[in-house]
Amino acid sequence: MAVSPGIPEWKRVVVKLSGEALQGAQTHGLDSGTIDRIADDLVNAAELGVEIAVVVGGGNFFRGIQGADKGIERARADSIGMLATVMNALAVEFAIEKRGWPARALSAVPMPSLCEPYSRQAALHHLAKGRIVILAGGTGNPFFTTDTGAALRGAELSCDAIMKATQVDGIYSADPKKDPTATRYDRLTHDEAIAKNLAVMDTAAFALARENRIPIIVFSIAEPGAITAALVGQGRATLVVP
């Protein structure tokens, strides 16, 4: 059933934030203004009654595949990348808490002196309490992207949708920054996204979402209020459905 504009369609979502989304205009690291803007948006979305889990990437500090290209074995490089996601999760957690909203960072790589180890039961408990849950460490295993981690957590936590925050306003047939003739899609199926080899998420993430019949909303995180707008069906986005 269609939902009126301004009313969230989903009760529980997982938001995938890339590390690059947190660096703003910088070449690497964290940009405080960008993190504050995203934290504002997450809190505004939570105030609508939506339960929110956030999966963070680590590419603003270190990306495993890039480390492998520099001679670090892939498994070890991915482990370094997992540590980068924990740094980002702690920064996002603090930014949310500064706004008076409860948040919990959970890591799939246990480091209890820094944050709570991830378990499905703990995450569900925090979500039920209205806390924004920030999930670090990817899947806890090498060779899996944080996109796949977002799809896995979406399935584990019975999320109604996966919200993939990107630098463009949806899925295109090619990179619109490189190809001005790229076509933008308003709606796709998981099968179409996989068949067309659309690179906005890796195939494993699309396949996991398809198997669990979880819609994916792909939208730009560049503007203030982008998460809330996507939740209530406003703004430009691509919807990927089973």
Can you give the pTM of this predicted structure? 0.93
Q: Which two three-digit tokens encode residue 175?
A: 């990179």
| 17, 56 contact by CB (below 8 A) | yes
Instruction: Average the pLDDT over each of 69-73, 160-164, 186-190 and give the range with the smallest value.
Output: 69-73
- 130-156 tens-digit pLDDT: 999 999 999 999 999 999 999 999 999
Q: pLDDT at position 6, please?
A: 65
- 192-220 tens-digit pLDDT: 999 999 988 999 999 999 999 999 999 99
Q: pLDDT at position 235, please?
A: 82
C-alpha span between 113 and 120 (Å, rounded): 20
Q: Which two three-digit tokens encode residue 91?
A: 């920064």
- 79-105 tens-digit pLDDT: 999 999 999 999 999 999 999 999 999
Confidence tier at 8 by pLDDT (50, 70, 90): confident
Residue 228 DSSP SS3: helix
Report the share of the chain in percent with pLDDT over 90.
85
CATH for 12-241 is 3.40.1160.10
| pLDDT (mean) for 39-64 | 95
C-alpha span between 65 and 59 (Å, rounded): 10
Q: E strands within the chain?
A: 12-17, 51-56, 103-107, 116-117, 132-136, 161-166, 171-172, 184-185, 187-189, 216-220, 237-241
Q: pLDDT at position 93, please?
A: 98
Q: What are the sequence ranges of the domains in the chain?
A: 12-241
User: What average pLDDT does the chain have?
Assistant: 93
175: closest CA among 200, 206, 201?
200
Q: pLDDT at position 177, please?
A: 86
